[in-house]
Chains A and B, each alone.
Chain A
Amino acid sequence: MVSLQLFSANSLINKVMVIVQIKINGKVTEIEPSLNLASLLETRRIKPGAVVVQYNGDIVDKGLWTKIVLQENDELEILRFVGGG
């Protein structure tokens, strides 16, 4: 019994460890590990042409999105183009 409980606890810890916590527009969000910026937007169905992204304080060119692998505590601001009036 004891060993089984330990096993469960370990697998829980493993599960926790593989989730990366970042901030998106001020909200703590859990994402898969090794996710790059372009893939993150894709999983959220955000059209690349409709937004710009500020990554840890700097707006990053779209060309760099696939090269930025998101790490624990990264801060993203996804800014949408809003042109109506």
Chain B
Amino acid sequence: MDFNEQQIERYSRHIILSEVGVEGQQKILNSKVLVIGTGGLGAPAAMFLAAAGVGTIGLVDADKVDLSNLQRQIIHQTKDVGKLKVKSGEETINEMNPDVSVVTYHSFVDSSNILDIFKDQDYDFIIDGTDNFAAKFLINDACVMAKKPFSHAGIIRFNGQLTTYIPDNDTPCYRCMFKEPPPEGAVPSCREAGVLGVMGGVIGTLQATEALKYILGIGESLAGYLLTYNALTMEFIKINIKKNSKCPVCGDEPAIKTLIDYNGPVCTL
């Protein structure tokens, strides 16, 4: 454990926690977290992980920063409009914490690249900060197949939800709850329905919390639960969900054995 003086000071509020300590902070510095999507959820998640000292943070996004993103995607600033989101995110993180090395993937995830991105740095934990069901189901299936723990989350209007998947456990995956993407048009996107800017902050920060707890091996994760948050009623509800033995991807006889691009050209579903 060879922290320099600046690191001891920077992480002092972590180190003083008996659940973290010097050892725990070392674990955080040695950890690698992949954040897929640097939008409403991914922005605050990546920033808190960077501040915490996660040693390697991967950022995946093909988009450029748009003015309409800035109401919630706090990793990007006005000067970044038009810039690649992964570039803008990398610059913000570099300014926040020199201990973090950022790896950028200027792409959307699909069936052809997601497992390679996981392997690129052998990430310890994945954060799904994407804004569409095709990506959310892809990330779930890829994490089940590659045995990677991940945090699923979604936000819309004044609502958010999240769950954590831990492999080799009796943890339900996202498909145990939501078997397949909703029918076209049944559920609006943030672009169509709007989202209160802070929703990503609340839920994305909870995703970062789950990642840090997993890295530290402390507390109880949301594995086996879907946590929902309604900002208008200020209610958090933790719903117990069982692993589904008939789940098409993590069940006893999985029907899905290869990754599916729901929006892709090869999609036949």
Residue numbers of A with Cβ under 8 A of B are 25-26, 47, 49-50, 52, 54, 57-59, 77, 79-85
Chain A residues near B179 (CB, 8 Å)? Answer: 52, 59
Q: Is the pair B242, A57 in contact by a Cβ cutoff of 8 Å?
A: yes
Q: Is the pair A85, B155 in contact by a Cβ cutoff of 8 Å?
A: yes
Chain B residues near A47 (CB, 8 Å)? Answer: 186
Residue numbers of B with Cβ under 8 A of A are 37, 39-42, 128-133, 136, 153-156, 159-161, 176-179, 181-183, 185-187, 189-190, 193, 195, 200, 226, 228, 237, 239-242, 244
Q: A77–B193 Cα gap in the complex (Å)?
A: 23
Residue of B40, B178, B190 with most partner-chain A CB within 10 A:
B178
Chain A residues near B132 (CB, 8 Å)? Answer: 83, 85
Q: Is the pair A54, B241 in contact by a Cβ cutoff of 8 Å?
A: yes
> Known contacts A54-B239, A77-B239; is A82 also within 8 Å of B183 by CB?
no
Residue of B39, B153, B187, B226 with most partner-chain A CB within 10 A:
B187
Q: Can you spell out 20 A-B residue pairs with CB atoms less than 8 angstroms apart?
A: A25-B237, A49-B185, A50-B182, A50-B187, A52-B178, A52-B179, A54-B177, A54-B241, A80-B187, A80-B228, A82-B156, A82-B160, A83-B131, A84-B154, A84-B190, A85-B40, A85-B42, A85-B129, A85-B131, A85-B200
